[in-house]
Structure 1
Amino acid sequence: MKYKLLALVAIVAIIGIYLWQKSVPQPLVRIASPEAIRDTIAGPIVGFSDEDDTFGWLGIPFAAPPLAELRWAAPRLHIPWKENRQAIAFENACVQLWGPLVGTAGNEGEVVGKEDCLYLNVWAPRDNSDIDSAGLPVMFWIHGGGNSIGTANTYPGHRLASGENVVLVTINYRLGLLGWMSHPALRAEGRSASDASGNYGNLDMIAALEWVQKNIANFGGDPDNVTIFGESAGGLNVYSLMASPPAKGLFHRAIAQSGSTSTTPLWRAENFADDVQPGESLSSREWLSMQLQHAGKTKGRKAAKVAQLAMSDAEILAFMQSRSPQQILKGISGGAGMYRAPQNLRDGTVLPKESLLTLFQSPERYNDVPLMTGTNRDEAKLFMAQDTEFVERRFGFLPHIKDIDAYNSTSAYISDTWKARAVDEVAAVISAHSEHKVYAYRWDWDEGAKNWLVDYSTLIGAGHGMEVAFVFDDFEGGILVPGFYNEENSPGRDELAIEMRSYWSQFAATGDPASGRNGDLLKWDAWDNSGPNLMILDSPGGGGSKMSREPMTIAMLKQRLAKDPQITDTKTRCRIHAELFLKTNSGDDYWNEQEYLDLGCANYDPWTVIQPTSESTN
């Protein structure tokens, strides 16, 4: 088994990377409809008649543009308007590095999007005459993208809204270093606790939820029945909203698709990389040192560190605010535009200072609501398919797996880790302490097209993010590779998609997926620590959906790693152990110093065994 990708994907899993994305949406000619005029607390808006007998409203501002002094600050209310504001076109994506997955036009390495990006979109069935006065269930979508790329603009909502009779809301939120930034200077005197929190992306989500509470009834939605749902980074953010005191009362159910409970201690988000408690490579102090060098104020990392420590809070804030988005992201790179930076920070205001798994032992201390959580069986394969360690390109474009056994076993290791963190450990804790139910799933659909050119059923399998198309009923152009769906796999695909939307919307309506919206599906039982507790979601060709029990815990994974005969040297075993159970920002929950030493790792500092700290002259 090859483990080169294991550390990478372990990190990727924790930051909630998201690799299923629509191609860049083409501009459409939409015409404002007098039937779609709605009042909001900021002023009237006019939407349009969308497909599938729905109304749509696009680009609605839910907060003031986070510009100038509002950069790295909590969102503020938007200035009201009096005249009808047209809401018929998507607004700006947030600032990010361009890549083929970001959902907007651009070139490799280019900074795209705008800081003025706090907009949301709404879809609702045209005919709400048959609903009661309470309104329809509201489904509030948080996009993925590692919290560093992505936009709500790539998720058409008309089919989900119409087919499941719900009101759908999709949102933008600040990303990457503009969405999460914790530096001591941001806690300077005169700044509020929210402004000082560093969790600006999370606060954007909360502001959008507050907008829903105040406005969604005018769109046919029930503000007392709001379900937050998201995939990957969106799933991570779902868990964080459950833990966030300012989000209390703003939602009533939660769905985490391939999520994570990881949060970042402030010392990891702020410290220099060579401190006793080392900060991440893009911690605020490391980033600021890099910025000082780029601005020509100092040369070399050591000199930048000295200069930074000599600056006052006011000087640091002024310098940070003077930098353009292009300058902020200068020198930063990552796969497909995504980069790892500290996020979902344990600031003590927006998020607790303790780990979420610890918090979830006390229902009275978090936003305890019914939860649906799950992962895809082959999460890792979408990443591995793009890594030359595992896959070569014959004739420059045909993917060929070099070692099928190593490919499958490595994928199983990583994907099982994801399931343990996102599903089993969380469900076991919450179900043991909460009165609310937890519903768990694993998505197993692996019927991507297979032909003499490529076998997607093996290459991608039930890969990361592939289930999103099924939830939104959107299979046109949304996959990374052409020809993934064909006449052979489409019938089973469509049948499973219908099932999933029925379960998702029934959960949104009642907090229990039960037998689906129409009561005609297999009953989905709540998590039970002793009986069948996992809904396997699959098409008839894969055996169909069924309740099962297939536990995967951190203890099981540690035992597997300790005894794995394919790991031939101690340092490799120590490296993987440290990456999985310490450096993933869940060390509070899973790290045990004695277990590490028992592996024979006394000679390997767990903080540097992966990538030793080095001096940078960037």
Structure 2
Amino acid sequence: MAAIGVANGAMGSDIGIVETTSGKVRGTSDGGVRIFKGIPYGEPTGGAARFLPPKPYRARSAVIDAANYGPGCPQLGARGATGGEDCLVLNIWAPATDAAKRPVMVYLHGGGFRTGSGSGASSDGTHLARTEDVVVVSLNHRIGPLGYLYLGDILGGDYAVGNAGNLDLILALQWVRDNIAAFGGDPGCVTIYGVSGGGKKISHLLAMPAAKGLFHRAIVMSGALSTAIERPAATAYTERLLAKLGLDHSRARELLTMPAAPILEAVAALSKAGQDPEGGYGGGGGPQPLVDGVTLLQHPGAAVAAGASGAIPVMIGSTLDEPIAGYQGPEGLKQLEAMSAAEVHARLADGPFVKLGDRTDTILAHYRKVWPDLSPGALMVRVETAGSWRYLSNKLADAKASAKAAPTFVYVMTYAGGTTDGPRGAGHATDVPLVMGNYANLTEMSRTPWFADSPHVAEMSRIMGRTWASFARHGKPDNALLPRWPAYTAKKRETMLLDVKAHVVDNPFHDREAMGAA
């Protein structure tokens, strides 16, 4: 495997060898935190293994040098295709060297179902592990066509099992169950948390039978309740992809042997042409998880409402100004502030995040009463958030609460931060670097130093990290840095507004009254 070296004793900060089911691994340390990067949990997934369920990594005789991140799944970037198909790797940050059974927090990266990796600067677990005495795990898995292209109706046999990318996540969680005690973690106290596409993946794991028992709490951040697509839609998409590549059913097996780059380019071309699968609630374009009747039996929302993962406490939330992260730098903010009321109306009526149609005037009037002093552009951002990210968070919260088997906690992060250019807003995925304590680094989603010169940012990060770790430790987010946080009910819709001075509000913003029943 390209990124898995052999430890030769020449590394600095050698912390000794840990025995795992993947073999012996040797990591490094940083200020009392043991760090292990690029540990393989699954065999390479290229060639004959492409599109199939993953297989556990077979231990080799060499000691794995776990000093560097492993490859991400192949994906298109500014310089073409990057990554490799030996991407089933994970990273661990563990405090001290004792055998304490600490809470385990497994981070699932964003990027829809199409891009991203668990190796971003803002997802480094060193600070969170050190300050909150938890074991942090991040991982890479198959995404895009390599993770979610469905060939069951074309190739049959082993390919009847879909959702390979989600099965990778389950395999990683099995690895954590079997090995995390050797790193000081408690395999009986595992929390999965993720932003954007990571939150959508958690929605699916809550509904997948094979994930049962592998995690015990879940935190869904700005990515609730992606639906799945049905088999006919998944097969129709695969046929469009084959045609784009100049193939048909009789030549479909050529997908197993061709380089990944042409497949990725064909997916991008279909997305640009508006030929993505229907459904999925915006999974980032391209192939999506599907109800295959094997790994996923029904749509996640329906499964959760029916009691799937009912005993698992869940924390669900979003930020106040989700799409403002797309307006980067002073010029982007100026563009947003310069939008006219007519431009805002047209975008909200039939835009990329919401399509309000003939309800646009009524909904705008509702939120204008909530935020009377905002410019048209800033108000547009709040309405898009309410009608997309928060709408889906509300749906998942209602589904989870209706099962009445474990508590649900709902939040909206309102902390806006700021830069030398002025206030930025509480943008998409800006909660990740606050939770992880990496707010001085680039955020994964916005590529902007969002919190430069932000007042009280260290205090806000402490609140976020403590709250996430408290939930991981106890199944409740209550801690000394927050007021009491009641569990969510569909009747009162209790919601924590997370800020330096956090407080609970029942039914904030009255979204259902504006947008309709979730």
TM-score normalised per structure 1: 0.70
Distance 2:396 2:284 in 1: 26
Q: Spell out the pairing of 1:409-420 with structure 2 (5 A cutoff).
A: 409-420=379-390
Q: Spell out the pairing of 1:39-438 with structure 2 (5 A cutoff).
A: 39-50=19-30, 52-99=31-78, 107=79, 110-128=80-98, 131=100, 135-154=101-120, 155-185=123-153, 188-189=156-157, 191=158, 195-267=159-231, 269-272=233-236, 283-292=237-246, 308=248, 311-312=249-250, 315-316=251-252, 318-331=253-266, 332=268, 340-353=285-298, 355-363=299-307, 365-366=308-309, 368-383=311-326, 385=327, 393=331, 401-403=337-339, 405-438=375-408
Distance 2:220 2:57 in 1: 29
CA contact (8 A) 2:97 2:184 kept: no
What per-residue deviation string (whole Å, max 9, x for no partner) do you get for residues 300-336 of structure 1?
xxxxxxxx3xx44xx42x221122111112242579x
Task: Select 2:495's aligned residue among 505, 510, 534.
Answer: 534
CA contact (8 A) 1:139 1:229 kept: yes
Amino acid at match of 1:286: R
Point out where structure 1 has 5 or more consecutive residues left out of the alignment. 1-29, 100-106, 273-282, 298-307, 560-588, 591-618
Residues 482 and 410 from structure 1, CA distance in 2 versus in 1: closer, same or farther, beyond 3 angstroms?
Answer: closer
Amino acid at match of 2:496: M
SS of equivalent to 2:473: helix
Q: Spell out the pairing of 1:482-521 with structure 2 (5 A cutoff).
A: 484-487=450-453, 489-490=454-455, 492-514=456-478, 516=479, 519-521=480-482
What per-residue deviation string (whole Å, max 9, x for no partner) do you get for residues 132-152 of structure 1?
xxx110000100012211111
RMSD of aligned C-alpha atoms? 2.7
CA contact (8 A) 1:183 1:285 kept: no
Residues 46 and 529 from structure 1, CA distance in 2 versus in 1: closer, same or farther, beyond 3 angstroms?
Answer: same
Distance apart, 1:437 and its partner CA: 0.2
CA contact (8 A) 2:228 2:291 kept: yes
Identical pairs, percent: 28
TM-score normalised per structure 2: 0.82
CA contact (8 A) 1:532 1:547 kept: no
CA contact (8 A) 1:173 1:201 kept: yes
Distance 2:447 2:149 in 1: 35
Tell me which moved more, 439-448 or 544-553.
Answer: 544-553
Residues 202 and 422 from structure 1, CA distance in 2 versus in 1: closer, same or farther, beyond 3 angstroms?
Answer: same
**Count of aligned residue pairs for this structure pair:** 460
SS of equivalent to 2:42: coil
Amino acid at match of 1:136: R
Residues 33 and 420 from structure 1, CA distance in 2 versus in 1: closer, same or farther, beyond 3 angstroms?
Answer: closer
Amino acid at match of 1:361: A
Residues 528 and 555 from structure 1, CA distance in 2 versus in 1: closer, same or farther, beyond 3 angstroms?
Answer: closer
Amino acid at match of 1:264: A
SS of equivalent to 1:35: coil
Distance 1:91 1:484 in 2: 27
Amino acid at match of 1:412: R
Distance 1:124 1:158 in 2: 8
SS of equivalent to 1:507: helix
Residues 285 and 500 from structure 1, CA distance in 2 versus in 1: closer, same or farther, beyond 3 angstroms?
Answer: same
Amino acid at match of 1:347: D
Q: Spell out the pairing of 1:605-616 with structure 2 (5 A cutoff).
A: none
Amino acid at match of 1:138: V
Distance apart, 1:260 and its partner CA: 2.2
CA contact (8 A) 1:443 1:536 kept: yes
Residues 531 and 400 from structure 1, CA distance in 2 versus in 1: closer, same or farther, beyond 3 angstroms?
Answer: closer
SS of equivalent to 1:509: helix
Amino acid at match of 1:291: L
Alignment-derived partner of residue 362 in structure 2: none
CA contact (8 A) 1:375 1:418 kept: no
Distance 1:532 1:183 in 2: 42
Distance apart, 1:33 and its partner CA: 5.0
CA contact (8 A) 1:226 1:253 kept: yes
SS of equivalent to 2:321: coil
Residues 144 and 483 from structure 1, CA distance in 2 versus in 1: closer, same or farther, beyond 3 angstroms?
Answer: closer
SS of equivalent to 2:325: helix
Tell me which moved more, 117-126 or 74-83.
Answer: 74-83
CA contact (8 A) 2:40 2:90 kept: yes
CA contact (8 A) 1:424 1:553 kept: no
Amino acid at match of 1:352: L
Distance apart, 1:553 and its partner CA: 7.8
Residues 552 and 196 from structure 1, CA distance in 2 versus in 1: closer, same or farther, beyond 3 angstroms?
Answer: farther
Amino acid at match of 2:337: I
Distance apart, 1:54 and its partner CA: 0.4
Residues 56 and 186 from structure 1, CA distance in 2 versus in 1: closer, same or farther, beyond 3 angstroms?
Answer: farther
CA contact (8 A) 1:36 1:49 kept: no
Distance 1:418 1:213 in 2: 35
